[in-house]
Amino acid sequence: MVCPAAVFALSFLALAAGCDARPQTDVVVDNKYAPSPASLVIYRAYWQAVPFLDPIPPGTSSDAQSTVPASANTAYVVLAPGWDPDASTPPTSFVVMQSRNGFEAHLNDTLHIPVDDTTFVGNCAAGSFLSQAQADFIAQVIFPNDTSLRYDAMSCTTTAIADDAGGQ
């Protein structure tokens, strides 16, 4: 004979254990550039619907951000070459980049997005260029409030918007 109290206790434990395990899906941005005097600090990053607003120095990773499972989506970054994230002044030079391929997040997993010249395009110093339309999309649509600079995709240089608005 089966003891009803034992069946109830086992059922309760199974239910309690199942209800406690809530799936958690996260995304992390990994700055794979090596530290150097001209370090490539990730100033901003964006994937799917997740903004990364804190700088990510070379050789470090962002904090994990909560997300939902998603099919492959392009990731975008704004690099600040040679900028010190501990400085009291914002960067004055930027490089905008997009991932060569999309990244997908799986349920109850952590997606790591490695940022370097093999996984991202747009670093002129590495011989990797975006079209001006791609660069404008990244600078003006993905990161519209993060820079007050105009970005030239062929030279990976920036100029203050106020400087080139006067003569046009």
Q: Over the stretch 32-74, which tens digit does the pLDDT of each residue have?
A: 999 987 899 999 999 999 999 999 999 999 999 999 999 999 9
pLDDT at 42: 97
**In the chain, what is the straight-line distance between the N-terminal and C-terminal CA atoms, in Å?**
91
Q: Evaluate whether 79 touches 40 at the Cβ level (below 8 Å).
A: yes
Q: In tens digits, what is the pLDDT along the chain, a chain of 168 residues?
A: 555 554 444 444 444 555 557 889 999 999 999 998 789 999 999 999 999 999 999 999 999 999 999 999 999 999 999 999 998 998 888 999 999 999 999 999 999 999 999 999 999 999 999 999 999 999 889 988 765 668 899 898 887 665 444 443
Record the tokens describing residue 77, joined without a space.
Answer: 């970054």
Q: What is the pLDDT of residue 10?
A: 45
Single-letter residue type at 24: Q
Rounded-to-integer distance, Cα 94 and Cα 46, Å: 15
Alpha-carbon span 103 to 46, nearest angstrom: 12
Distance CA(36)–CA(47), nearest Å, equals: 26
Contact in structure between 122 and 130 (CB atoms under 8 Å) = yes
What is the per-residue pLDDT for 165? 45
CA-CA distance, 108 to 93, in Å (whole number)? 37
Residue with token string 């392009």: 74
Q: Residues in the chain, how many?
A: 168
Beta-bridged to residue 159, according to DSSP, are: 150
pLDDT at 157: 87
pTM above 0.75, yes or no: yes
Q: Which of 117, 140, 139, 141 is nearest to 129 (CA)?
A: 117
pLDDT at 166 (0 to 100):
44
